[in-house]
Amino acid sequence: MPRKSEQKSKEYTIKDVAELAGVSTATVGRVLGGYGSASHEATQAVREAANKLHYIPNGIAQSMKKKTTKSVGLIVANICNPYFSSIARIVESVLVKKGYNIIICNTDEDGDREISYLKMLYEKRIDGLMIASALKESERKDSQFNMTYKESIPTIIIDREISNLKFPTVASDNFRGAYEATSHLIKLGHKRIGIIGSTISTFFRRVEGYRQAMLDHSLPFDTNLVFNKSYKNVKPGDVSEGIYATKNLLKYREYRPTAIFALNNLLTTGVLIAVNDLGLKIPDDVAVIGWDDFDLASLLNPPITVVKQSTYNIATIAISRLLQQIENPNTILNEEKKVILSTELVIRGSCGSNVTY
Amino acid sequence: MPRKSEQKSKEYTIKDVAELAGVSTATVGRVLGGYGSASHEATQAVREAANKLHYIPNGIAQSMKKKTTKSVGLIVANICNPYFSSIARIVESVLVKKGYNIIICNTDEDGDREISYLKMLYEKRIDGLMIASALKESERKDSQFNMTYKESIPTIIIDREISNLKFPTVASDNFRGAYEATSHLIKLGHKRIGIIGSTISTFFRRVEGYRQAMLDHSLPFDTNLVFNKSYKNVKPGDVSEGIYATKNLLKYREYRPTAIFALNNLLTTGVLIAVNDLGLKIPDDVAVIGWDDFDLASLLNPPITVVKQSTYNIATIAISRLLQQIENPNTILNEEKKVILSTELVIRGSCGSNVTY
DNA sequence: ATGAAAGCGCTAACAG
DNA sequence: CTGTTAGCGCTTTCAT
């Protein structure tokens, strides 16, 4: 095999195939593209020629004509978060069956990055967008905001709602999930409950649920127990945020919360590590509840109680709605535009006795 | 704001901008594209016009001309595997800085899916490809095989080697990692060691390392202790494979291995669940070693000993080499084409005494 | 400094 | 059934 180095093998075009097959480019398009009709003879010749040249159609040129790219963008905070990777996985599996590709973008909860991703994706002329927005409420006041998201392209919002945008959205009932978790702790006798989150919108709703539960049970809402720092500068998969927050919360023995509610998996892990570092015992010294279930939750000692989101449903519903919009641009998704899925409190041992009430 | 419903707002083109600005399309291209030169006046007018129309350049048309798409494909087994999601995360973060997007493809270890993904990606005219191939050795004998991968497009192989292909590759030293883990168990007195993998190439190398270690210590290589079933039909994130394998391995008390070596995170979790189900204790009843480290490993009781891959290095080296190829197509990567990174045995408590020898 | 025009590879009328 | 041809939106010579 003579190595014609440097000589980048030319990409064959439909024209080359046409010449070799002795037909017109239109005919080649017809047999390869599967539209129109061609004689058996022509079909044969074209296939043969295409094979011989190892012809690979130029999707870019096709997109140019057809005005569709068969790709959708997925913007999430961090693909390393099992919650998002599960969604990506499920979404991709249904997309690929329809010939779509998925372009993944990690914002790290940075609004600016989100905007620049949006720009990239729109330039790429994606057919659809699925997004867990990192933009904070405040950043949306901006007058330019309305221009950031193109309402002309099919979009589905997941995980978090984006106010003043009329896209369909699929998310968990963050308020209720947190309300239930908090109530659970209260019923178990906890009065001082720490909660660890961050500045993203989803977490605000969860903190509200927590707050309401406290209030409804005549307990004070003490902001000292709310750790809501920003995620900035936290490396992906970095567990230190949760550790830091926990150590902070448990610093003063007398004010120490008797329970901690961590608002995502990474934070939960951080809490567990910190509690362990401090030589404290769960649930006797401090109870723990996490947001999002994980495989090892039931194997830890004690097993960890969690608020479980129906990730599968979120992903499935979201992608089916998005495809609906893509394939039928006139679909009006006005009614029932927002679907809020309930969460499930999975009670294991990390909050004390295994009550079932 | 009158809602001109249905009337899909027209995408503005460079021509619209040109007209509004009162210049030619060439000039618009020059100021927006940042090449050539334009008068201050023209520049001003163009920018204004572009802003007013919220003009978004058509990347497809650009790609058509420039013959570059600014996107790279990433083919992995399953993005839900923390090992792959970490790689994706790191790779994406360096790519985005250079204006590239990343298209993620999950093969689920299915060779056919890999081939169809490859086709999609090549049609999309990706600028580069990073791949952890799912193709088994046997599938590569196929005469068509050589045509499956286009040597004309920059490619980097990660995690597993693909024989007879002259692409650069970055992977862990699977043989050595497994050899060390197995030796560790042997030195701790284990003689019957079960190993759980699957039919993918990486795992073969690991089993070979295990085998060599056994042999070098005058222990028999007993295929009854090797669980190497196929992954087919296992759902993403499904832990049942590991559970099934473990229960199988531990079925007959008298032949029972005293240690189990699980070849990826998901399998490790399965092993832990199964062992727990069976009411056995780690490490007394059975020792456990896992492949790939994980945050909770040190929090489990006992903490789990693992073979740790330098995921960060794999991702970083791989992407830098890929970019090198993309940006400088004439780079000859002949020497040192293959980089094999060593693994690290992280000894915790799951194999018995915390020896350090 | 700027405009006209060719052309990237393909699809889809349209005409035959 | 098949070929000719006109673009899709942009970049980029080549003139001016």
Q: Per-residue pLDDT tens for A44-99?
A: 999 999 999 999 999 999 999 999 999 999 999 999 999 999 999 999 999 999 99
pLDDT for the residue numbered A144: 62
**How close, in Å, is residue A320 to chain B by CA atoms?**
19
The answer to whether the CB atoms of A60 and B59 lie below 8 A apart is no
Residue A29 beta carbon within 7 A of nucleic strand C = yes
A24/C15 CA-to-C1' distance in Å:
15
Residue A242 beta carbon within 7 A of nucleic strand C = no
Start-to-end CA span in chain A (Å): 75
pLDDT for the residue numbered A238: 77
Tell me how far the alpha carbon of residue A220 is from its chain's centroid: 34
CB-based contact A270:A241 (threshold 8 Å): yes
A83 φ/ψ angles, rounded to the nearest 5 degrees = -60, -45
- A positions 252-271 inside 8 Å of B (CB): 269
Ordered alpha helix ranges (H), B130-239 = 145-148, 174-187, 201-216
pLDDT band for B233, please (50, 70, 90 cuts): low
Residue B33 beta carbon within 7 A of nucleic strand D = yes
Q: Which residue is nearest to nucleotide C13 (CA to C1')?
A: A26
Whole-angstrom distance, CA of residue B110 vs CA of residue B266: 17
pLDDT for the residue numbered A214: 98
pLDDT for the residue numbered B143: 57
Residue A58 beta carbon within 7 A of nucleic strand C = yes
Residue B57 beta carbon within 7 A of nucleic strand D = yes
> Looking at strand C, which nucleotides approach a protein CB closer than 7 A?
1-5, 7-13
Summarised one tens digit per residue, pLDDT across range A124-175 is 999 999 999 988 776 766 656 667 899 899 999 999 987 778 899 999 999 9
Beta strand pairing call for A101-106 and A71-76: parallel
CB-count exposure of residue B350 (10 Å: 0-12, 13-18, 19+): buried
DSSP helix/strand/coil, B186: helix
Tokens representing A225 are: 């127990």
- A positions 6-45 inside 8 Å of B (CB): 6, 8-9, 11
- The angle, 0 to 180 degrees and rounded to 10, between the axes of the packed helices B14-21 and B40-53 is 120
Closest partner residue to A60 (CB to CB) among B64, B78, B93 is B64
Tokens representing B256 are: 């029972």
Q: What is each CA distance from A350 to A182, A288, A289, B41, in whole angstroms?
A: 13, 5, 7, 68
The answer to whether the CB atoms of B296 and A269 lie below 8 A apart is yes
Residue B42 beta carbon within 7 A of nucleic strand C = yes
Q: Over the Cα atoms of chain B, what is R_g?
A: 26
Within 10 Å of residue A212's Cβ, how many Cβ atoms?
Answer: 17
**Strand segments (E) across chain B:** 71-76, 101-106, 128-131, 155-158, 169-172, 193-196, 226-227, 259-262, 287-291, 305-308, 338-341, 344-346
Q: What is each CA distance from A255 to A186, A221, A259, B16, B237, in whole angstroms?
A: 17, 14, 12, 65, 40
- Nearest by Cα to B339 from B357, B326, B322: B322
Task: Find the angle CA(B62)-CA(B63)-CA(B68) to the nearest 5 degrees.
Answer: 130
A108 φ/ψ angles, rounded to the nearest 5 degrees = 55, 30
- In the predicted model, what is the mean pLDDT of residues B66-93? 96
Q: Check whether B46 has a pLDDT greater than 80.
A: yes
The answer to whether the CB atoms of A152 and B9 lie below 8 A apart is yes
Quickly tell me which residue has 């610093």 as its tokens.
A251
pLDDT for the residue numbered A355: 47
Hey, which residues does B249 pair with through a beta bridge? Answer: none
- B positions 39-98 inside 8 Å of A (CB): 54, 56-64, 69, 71, 78-80, 82, 85-86, 88-90, 92-93, 96
Q: Check whether B128 has a pLDDT greater than 80.
A: yes
Residue A61 beta carbon within 7 A of nucleic strand C = yes
pTM for this prediction: 0.93
The answer to whether the CB atoms of A125 and B60 lie below 8 A apart is yes
Whole-angstrom distance, CA of residue A273 vs CA of residue A244: 10
A126 vs B: CB within 8 A: no
Residue B27 beta carbon within 7 A of nucleic strand C = yes
> Which of B13, B52, B100, B104 has the highest number of chain A CBs within 10 A, making it the mutation to test binding with A?
B104
A237 vs B: CB within 8 A: yes
Whole-angstrom distance, CA of residue B314 vs CA of residue B87: 8
A280 vs B: CB within 8 A: no
Q: Check whether B142 has a pLDDT greater than 90.
A: no
The answer to whether the CB atoms of B8 and A59 lie below 8 A apart is no
> Looking at strand D, which nucleotides approach a protein CB closer than 7 A?
1-5, 7-13
Q: Check whether B58 has a pLDDT greater than 90.
A: yes
Q: Check whether A6 has a pLDDT greater than 50.
A: no
- A positions 167-226 inside 8 Å of B (CB): none
